[in-house]
Structure 1
């Protein structure tokens, strides 16, 4: 019995030691991933470039990678968990999950190669929740979505009739809100139509993109810097009938005086 217990304890100790060594020797891989997410959040193109392999940059520039990660909300990562790590020669792999500031959890896989003594990101695979086969809108399409929604909104408040705006909504929102309901909700903006009209000739500044939640809803937050006010917009979209349909619309104005 004592021999068995000693043998069991010895085996357990070896297993624990092996796991400890694996995580210690592969810690440099996770540091690269953490640095990449941090540089993406600050839009530090130079730092991102330093973390990418030569092979990676043949097909994808640092700017393109930043835009791609940001389109999924991965420019604001608050937590990473790595369940698999492995180093074999000059290559390393790791897999796990990352959590964004919006609370969305993405399964991710990294492949890294060693160049000039440093680990470099060679490939990244991100599984987007809830939207298989659907590309999330990049920065340019995010701008277009905001512009389209805001233009319909401005035309409607100028006419003091939200029907044209309602035509743009998702089926779910339409089923819950009639034109009369929307007229009542946005009535306070009717008197601001003249001030906000300037936005029709401008492009919005995109401040934040939150990737799809469990229901496939994405959120785009931005603003228009108008002459008299800052026009803040927070839009939600859901993919249906082959397009991103407006699923939520929150807006407010902020005086530029002072």
Structure 2
């Protein structure tokens, strides 16, 4: 009997050690995720961006991360609880939930990658547990605009942008964007962001009578963002664009505006 108890006791100790090792092994993944969310909740968006992977940074700029955090309440997190922590080779994953400052909860899933001897954020997805937790986000029932409506959106956005560039300051363009973007960027930051285009002296109002050719029309991504991409048939160089919109009060409003001439 004593021998059996010793064996059981040894087995219990072994299980405890295995569990302890599992938590130790995934500790770096958990710590990286917690640091990332803590930075966002404090409004330290630049610090949070530094915790993201190279792949993440190739597809999103710091201001886009800030907008995402604002949209899905990641800037209002009080506490987090991870129901699942895992890693395999250089990939890690956290699944759980976060409690916001108003008591509501959101589901979280964070994918990480190990690079340069540290765990970095590769992808973040968030789903609100309450319909009103992220009022700025497009609802699941939001319908994507058709091709004609998409072209009209692009033309209006480009016209507002071109008019602002010609005046040398971006107030008209800023006023046409989403409230979410305006909360993140004051007029000076808009001016600074597009200073190189203003300095180039390019008259983009020439695009106003032209029809944008859409290569990506009516695509609403998993974050509820409408992405419209394409180009204008200008010569000698074409003007390429990728604009991003969210549904605010039933209207599509800009949260991202990118153009390139090549």
Using the size of structure 2 for normalisation, the TM-score is 0.49
Larger radius of gyration: 1
Using the size of structure 1 for normalisation, the TM-score is 0.49
